[in-house]
Structure 1
Amino acid sequence: MTLTLNEREIINELSPVYFPNELDIAKRLFLPIAQASDSFDCMSGYFSSHVLAELAGPLAILFKKPSSSGRFLISPCLSESDQKALLEAYSQGESIYEFLVDEEEINQDKFKNSTLEVMKFLIARKRLDIRIVLMKKGMMHAKIWNFNTPWGKVVIHGSGNATKSGLMTNFEQLVFSREWESDSSRAIVKAYEERFSSFWDGNREDAYTLRLNDRTVSDILKKVAASITDTQYQKLVEDLGKYMEDNPESTRLKIPSWLSYRDGDYRHQGEAVDAWLANSCRGTLEIATGGGKTLTSLVCASLGLKDQEAAILIIAVPTLPLIKQWADDVRNFSVEPLDTEGMGTQKLVQHLRKLIKEHEILPKHSVVIITHDNLKNENVQAILRKYKSKVMLIGDEAHNLGSASFVDDPPENIEFRLALSATPIRQYDPEGTEKLLKYFGDVVYQFPLEEAIGKCLVPFEYVAHKVFLNEEEATRWIELTEKINRLRWSDDTNTKKVVEQLQIRRRAISEAASQKITVFSKEVSKLSDRVHSLAFCTDKNPVQLDAVNLVLKDQGFIYHQITGIETSNKTLMKSLIDSYKIGNIDILTSKRVLDEGFNIPPIKTAFFLASSGTVRTWVQRLGRVLRKSEDTGKEKAVIHDFIVFPPGNSPDYGSLIGGELKRMQWFMNLALKNSSLNKAMTISDSLLSIKEKI
């Protein structure tokens, strides 16, 4: 290589101090040094499978010349048990590839796969060598780049890691030293060179140095595509460099520019955000289903954590399918979340441990989406307690967290807390409600259904249908009522539990009343437009769902049920929902699994066969149906409710009449006041008449 005097002058004129986030560090520092160098040594106390992507920028610069070579001393982010496993595998000559690379993650990411292709080429050509350092105590935390130039050695050292974020994005400091400029600079370069050699050669008592043994190299070479040519390699390096320029990695939550949360039909979101921030980043948001709770909470997180260099946002959801829905929304805020769907507790803890170690070296915002059960797990809480920076918790459908298993021992180390629920008050559980609000904070903002309908939710027609208990159902109802009446006055805890079980069994009778199927069959046959319909069935009796499906089959509907079986298969679930949205499936039938969280805006006709007695269920199911749909231009929805009547006026039916009347009045109060309500008003008057007689 022929160098001009000008190139040496450029090296001599480089500043001794750099702050990477304030300038293009690759262009201003690494590029001129790489152009004048033929080899480098990098000692970095940070490495994980994520670093493959982050190293792409430096690789694209440093290995652009055919003659360049490099050596990396790296320290993986591993737990103590993983370190032991790595050492054992290495001592037996086994491959340690799995400890360095998350193969599943790479296979899903074309960019990271390309980066591995480049590394494969360099290792195969013996231009790149990597050795792993494991300290016997602590961690190798150095951040040093040594370069060989024709005039001597130069060193870049400081807080910037051998990663894209460490070198180009974070507020870090880098110091540049030339060994020929002074005795002190020469001493710095020599000290770093000696330390690198001592680790590289394995001459230290305080650390293990592991080479990439034959099996590891073999795995690296076979885990990627076939061998590439010199020309293909040059193209890959150029593409990686361009990718890094065009796709700067965001390390903080950022509100998307398209999100208008302070004006229009969704201006309540901005009001909710302000209320939560004003309450010291704690509190409960009571926002109607369909009112944009998810985006509101992520705006809260973005603003609440904006001054935090490092932070972990934990989002706890009630069911596994909601993890994917939340992940899609989180990506809009410039952070790729950790998707834990299908991940066991042990693996989750390992990921959290690795994440915390990464944050010690590379401060950033990370988002982890877990289930409520994961949040309650002591091992998960224990690892989060070890995190020294800010943790924020978003509890989705937080009313479900009011159970004793959570509120009796919640994670107090989490400072920022946000509960989301359309119905935060736990019906029949004032103690659980009190503890839940004490942990997350009181309700700081309300946007009820009454306000949401007509703004961010479409209005609805309420169509009621009268059904009767048959003789067998009526007899069982009276038998259970008599048992309940005999026991309900007891203060004994066990007896109270028995009463609760009897009440559930009694409620199941009305929810699964057989005449509902007859009326449903008649009403569903009248549909002039079959698509985008939904039938909610009881989860207390599987016979009802089977009967509904049989009716639809006999009438030639294209239908599919959504139960726990379907939701446990995310590929199947996505396929079903996509088909339903475009009209290839007429009607979905479901039990409880669609009550919370699912976002299927095209639904316009719903049959509520499962007449639950809890307000929360009414709110959740109504929210499923009233969401606006830009794709279909939905202007209103239709709710069909099945009102159960007793065969007589016995006082034993008092709870049945009271429950049905309460639900009807709730829906009628929210519904469109037009002729569609006439039938419901007539049925309501009939219930009132019976109530007066008993």
Structure 2
Amino acid sequence: MKLSEIELKEEYRTGHDDLVNSFYKPCLQEASSYDRSVGYFSSTVFLLIGPELVKFAQRGGKIRLVCSQYLSNADIEALESGYHPVIDEQFVENSLLSSVNLLMQNTSTIKNTVALATLIKCGCLEVKIAFRKIGNGLFHEKVGIIHANNETVTFKGSINETWNGWHERGNYETIDVFRSWVEGRDARQVYRNSEYFETLWDNDIDALDVIPFPQVAKSKLESISKESIADIEPDTLDDYFMPPNIEQIDYEAPKRTPLPHQVNAIEAWKQQGCRGVFEHATGSGKTFTALVALNEHLKGGGVALVLVPDRLLHKQWSEEIKSDIPDVILLKAGDGHDRWRKNRRLNTITQPDKDLGVRVVLATMATARLPEFINAICAGPHLMIVADEVHEIGSLENSNILTIDAGKRLGLSATPNRYGDPVGTEKIFNYFGDIVQPPFTLVDAINSGRLVKYEYLPEAIRFTVEESEQWELETKAIYKEYARSKRDANGAPITSVKLQLMLIQRSRIAKKASAKIPYAARVIKENYKEGESWLVYCEDQYQVREVISALKESGHSPCEYHTNMKGDSAASLEWFKQFGGIMVSIRCLDQGVDIPKISHVIILASSQNPRQFIQRRGRVLRISANKHKAVIYDAVMVPICLDSEPGQLSLLKSELQRSIQFSGTAMNKSGSTKLITIAIELGIDPQECGFYGTDGIEELGDVEDE
């Protein structure tokens, strides 16, 4: 049959016409080639057509597709097989890498996925990506061209290559159809559309760049691709157009499976006798990695104790455990949950009895360290302990938990070493075991698409005369107290509570320096664009109010978030997560707080504790839809002259320490160059500014920034 023998209408509308059965399928059955440009592409349309598309390819049919870089989660893995690396466009890679595993994880569609991967590998389907050269807009041109026996049908309209685009139960869509054998309007439009596509495919349109699809998961897809399209049996594929399968398309999310770095970490942990610490960057999936190991332990009849440092993580872990282990018996302790105290419930639920079911105890460290809890739990080799943010368990009080005997032990932290607390750090590793090699670093997370890349833009901020004088006075007092400190057997100072409080008080002078307020207002005025999500990280409520006032004077409408704010802090946070804008906050980037949409952050009150500033950076870099990079603005305190302000030496070193660390993994690695130049002019060697390269005063304890 010829295309001209198909009864085609000039216009089709979903809800009124069956686009798939009356247009798409019959044309494809007769076609020799199919060219398509769309705003975005989803492979679920090929799951719909399934057998018909394979027969089309086996007849020698070819598909050329041009689309935007924003592909749906279900496309990436099937589209990669058969391509060689030709570019390194990071903003494309970030949008693709974040969801490369989803399609192959869906076992219900695996046959169709294998078929699609094979079509790409064998060259039956070729894909290119179109970008606008100027601006950040998407490529939205939607044209389709179907060739068969010297006849051509072209169509234009709002429809995308998705299930929602083609099916009558999807979006409301319309297309206009043009036929080469109809003289006049139709023939002219077929010529124009065909010429346009060839120009687009050849990258000859001035406003656009059209590039081959980049390599994302080529090796993985080749492992499931067949050698030839002849090896695919079309009739064995599912036709997702027919009920009840249609309900599964785009609605049934596949269950998570561990990524390679997670599988490798669990294997290495087992080789260490099921003892060790996962030093994995924030955003790398530590929680899920631990759940995989924990679930395996539970299936073997064991019991698990999960420890978290705060209420927010307690809630998050509760949701994760229930989601991944639906048949779990979960006993909560802490965060207002005290049922564990009644009727020896904690002891009963932790007994080594497989007949009691799948059991997990989820406790805050503040509760688990109580003698009542420690004495009640049934310890032993059947018990597995997982400690999230394991660095927290090394404190003087929390380390009481480390007396609980357990077989399998797993700690999780992006920064397991306790800043300035070698004793607490030693306790952690003595109990849990060594760091499981290799660590999964921030660079690993960025390169694998778990985090986005970032720009780092520090700026030197200086004290007022009054602030500088106050810093010098408090520094002298600290040195006097430091000199009076008692020493241990090795001659190291024993930190007193008074000295800790003095350090905290002095650090707030820098964090609340008055010059930071106009700096934040200026950065936002010069760089903020409507629709972005910005966070201004402050020290306290007073600084929050000052920043909000300055921003309102500039015509902005910032929102506020902290636990002691007037109004509903949770509602404020949810509003920002949904709508973006500018949020001025306190402690919003610490452990357990996730707002992936944040694309820009201004750090006014940065910690001198490496653990905290590394953790905060990682949270800014979390992936989110259409987020291709993050931008970090950092207010760095720098003295004018060390001769007249000698007390600021340790401050400069600690500030440089953070800046050098941030710059080292940024897209613009020269971000801290200006600050390094200032340091050299002040007589400071930047190489001295390692994590523990201060003058000793800043190393007295992990509580410095609390």
User: In which range does the TM-score fall when normalised by the shorter chain?
Assistant: 0.5 to 0.7
How far the C-alpha of 1:433 sits from its partner, in A, is 0.2
How far the C-alpha of 1:425 sits from its partner, in A, is 0.5
Give the alignment of 1:42-441 within 5 angstroms: 258-261=255-258, 266-308=259-301, 311-335=302-326, 336=328, 338=330, 340=332, 343-344=335-336, 346-350=338-342, 353=345, 356=348, 362-385=355-378, 390-408=382-400, 410-441=402-433
TM-superposition CA deviations, 1:68-98 (whole Å, max 9, x none): xxxxxxxxxxxxxxxxxxxxxxxxxxxxxxx
How far the C-alpha of 1:299 sits from its partner, in A, is 0.6
CA distance in 1, matches of 2:269, 2:685: 49
CA distance in 2, matches of 1:489, 1:693: 26
CA distance in 2, matches of 1:686, 1:282: 46
How far the C-alpha of 1:531 sits from its partner, in A, is 3.0
Counterpart AA for 1:560: C
How far the C-alpha of 1:654 sits from its partner, in A, is 1.0
Counterpart AA for 1:581: K
Counterpart AA for 1:656: L
CA distance in 1, matches of 2:321, 2:571: 22
Question: Comparing both structures, which one devotes a greater share of its residues to helix?
Answer: 1
Counterpart AA for 1:532: S
SS at match of 1:463: strand
- Is 1:561 equivalent to 2:560 in the alignment? yes
How far the C-alpha of 1:578 sits from its partner, in A, is 3.4
CA distance in 1, matches of 2:471, 2:596: 38
- Is 1:466 equivalent to 2:467 in the alignment? no
In structure 1, the residue matched to 2:548 is: 549
Paired residues of 1:345 and 1:374 also in contact (CA < 8 A): no
CA distance in 1, matches of 2:329, 2:632: 37
- Is 1:607 equivalent to 2:608 in the alignment? no
SS at match of 2:377: helix
Paired residues of 1:657 and 1:691 also in contact (CA < 8 A): no
Quick one: which of 639, 647, 652 aligns to 1:646?
A: 639
How far the C-alpha of 1:615 sits from its partner, in A, is 0.8
How far the C-alpha of 1:530 sits from its partner, in A, is 5.2
Question: Any unmatched runs of 5+ in structure 2?
Answer: 1-252, 488-493, 687-706
How far the C-alpha of 1:301 sits from its partner, in A, is 0.7
SS at match of 1:415: strand
How far the C-alpha of 1:339 sits from its partner, in A, is 7.0
CA distance in 2, matches of 1:351, 1:313: 20
How far the C-alpha of 1:348 sits from its partner, in A, is 3.2
Paired residues of 1:393 and 1:416 also in contact (CA < 8 A): yes
Give the alignment of 1:605-684 within 5 angstroms: 605-629=600-624, 632-650=625-643, 651-673=646-668, 677=670, 680-684=672-676
Paired residues of 2:392 and 2:398 also in contact (CA < 8 A): no
TM-superposition CA deviations, 1:517-540 (whole Å, max 9, x none): 1100111122124532112212xx
SS at match of 2:374: helix
SS at match of 2:385: strand
Counterpart AA for 2:638: F
How far the C-alpha of 1:358 sits from its partner, in A, is 9.8
CA distance in 1, matches of 2:344, 2:677: 58
CA distance in 2, matches of 1:605, 1:409: 39
How far the C-alpha of 1:285 sits from its partner, in A, is 0.6
Paired residues of 1:297 and 1:394 also in contact (CA < 8 A): yes
TM-superposition CA deviations, 1:624-667 (whole Å, max 9, x none): 100111xx221100000001122432222211221121111111
SS at match of 1:589: strand
SS at match of 1:485: helix
Give the total of aligned pairs: 421
How far the C-alpha of 1:272 sits from its partner, in A, is 0.9
- Is 1:476 equivalent to 2:455 in the alignment? no
SS at match of 1:684: helix
In structure 2, the residue matched to 1:191 is: none
Question: Any unmatched runs of 5+ in structure 1?
Answer: 1-255
Alignment identity in percent?
29
SS at match of 1:480: helix
- Is 1:449 equivalent to 2:442 in the alignment? yes
CA distance in 1, matches of 2:574, 2:256: 24
SS at match of 1:426: coil
TM-score by length of 2: 0.55
Paired residues of 1:327 and 1:339 also in contact (CA < 8 A): no
SS at match of 2:325: coil
Counterpart AA for 1:430: P
CA distance in 1, matches of 2:429, 2:290: 17
Counterpart AA for 1:490: R
SS at match of 1:394: strand
CA distance in 1, matches of 2:501, 2:665: 32
CA distance in 1, matches of 2:279, 2:616: 16
- Decide whether aligned partners of structure 1 residues 461 and 367 sit closer, same or farther in structure 2, where only a CA change above 3 A counts: same
Paired residues of 2:297 and 2:303 also in contact (CA < 8 A): no
Paired residues of 1:330 and 1:337 also in contact (CA < 8 A): no
